[in-house]
Structure 1
Amino acid sequence: MYQEYDNQMRDIYRAYINGCHILHNHGVLDAYGHLSVRHPVDRNVFIMSRNMAPALVSSPSDLIQYEIEEARPLNPANVAESYLERFIHAAIFKLYADINAVVHSHAEAVLPFTISRVRLKPCFHLAGFLKPHGQRIFEMNDYGELSEPDLLIKNQRLGLKLSYKFNNMNSVVLMRGHGFTAVAGSIESAVFKAIYTVKNAEVQTNAMNGQSSAASTRNFPIGGDPGINYLSEKECKAGEAMAEKTLRRAWDLWVREVEVQPLYRNMLHDQAAGQGGYGA
């Protein structure tokens, strides 16, 4: 029994560390932002790295376990090393039993869509998890006395306000002047959604720039401005299903990419299953 538990923890830690590195390698995270995962055995606990740059996470000793109910570290000595915004993750895990991984990012490509009236919409099949009507935006100032001028989610009540935005199968929520949060049932899927949220933002920005340029030079075919042809709801559903089926192809490539870069270290890559214990 203990061996099985150790193996489960090793697998989740390895995937978590890989996920941090992949997100940094793709520019989704830099010195800031974070990834979390629900504990594979105790569903009332989640795991995050201590307060450090995601690219530098390298071993289980860099990780902290938290109780979901209060976002408190299981080991009180870890409070000082905890992310201020761990409440984002705790609230989402508390409200949605089917969500097992969360990414919070400040990616620059997405930020313009958090501060303008232009909605982030799905532009291509690999971003089918986005909503055809546009992504919801969390506005800190909507919550009066709860609001924080630094826009950070630093308490349970704000965490819950943000988490409500993920109802009705919304897997990505933008945060005004802050970034975005993506959720999924696994680390691999959450990382995929975060990466392709950023890619979609880049594609949409390029499309809008091209559209604006064409409009200014009247370089449209007969019939006037055709607008940007975003994905339909049917196309989104089909694209999302396809992406889930082929997720392993992307994940295996991304893992290999970070394995061969000297910046990233994952101490679990070379450890055979069944050695040591990682339950603490």
Structure 2
Amino acid sequence: MKFRNFFKILNNGVQLHYCTQPQPIQKITEKIGFIGDGNMAKAICFSVEKHNIIDFSQVYVSSPYRANLNIWKEKGANISIHNYEVARNADVIFLAVKPHFLKNALDGILENNNVDDIKNKLFISILAGYTLEDLEQFLKPFKESRIIRVMPNTPVLVGEGCTVYCPGKNVTQNDLSIVKTLMEVTGLCFEVEERFIDPIAAVCASGPAYTYLFIEALSDGGVRMGLHREMATMLAAQTVLGAGKMVLSTNKHMGTLKDDVCSAGGTTIAGIHALEKGGVRGSVIDAVQSATNRAAELRKAK
């Protein structure tokens, strides 16, 4: 049993709700495929399996590099260097290649003489830069297939991820149920309009990298002032984790939480002053803007 939290989309924004009763973990029977074996594919699959939603025997994964598949094989997944094998055997197929490799990956499937075997599939795209319209066009040769665009982040691996999804045409309630069952156990998961995907990706999908940079800098500061690295990193990481939980659990504005820590004339406000002089706030906003704009550039480039 697990307590799940979820978002409900309201007309005036997104409101966080918490289930008050434990929800039973629902195991799914569909075969799950990954075209692409990178870090995000591993994070999703390994987390979902850890929560007993699937077994590795249900998993099919492909990569052009056989050596990359060894870790999957050791865990009991079905592996292949041919994307067609994943597309033929799996019911739910994650498109998890780098965006610029998508066309080649799908072309490799279409070149197979038995492509008519691939129908009535649910495709889940985790690719930046490809809209639902783009993806539906790519998947036209696969009869009765549906597409859901999903944007997760790497902390799904440890059950603290943030995932949003947007369904394409002809997606069924069962398709949505599969996505929610797979992704809710990895952290927050909610549906959004497609126009929000790029800025959400800039905050959530790219955000862990910004946060790691901050944690490293906070650790560096501790080392600069005499702490051992291991202690400084542990304290910095736990501080960021705790601060995030304070934001989610107290319902207080971040400015209020900051003010609660800043005593008049004290040490914390002196540190805040230094951060503001360094332009930290503006730099983070610029990072989100740059990542969002880059997604648009990727669309144009393809």
Give the alignment's TM-score, normalised by structure 2.
Answer: 0.25
From the CA coordinates, give the structure whose radius of gyration is larger: 2
Q: Which has the higher strand share?
A: 2
Higher relative contact order (CA 8 A, sep 6+): 1
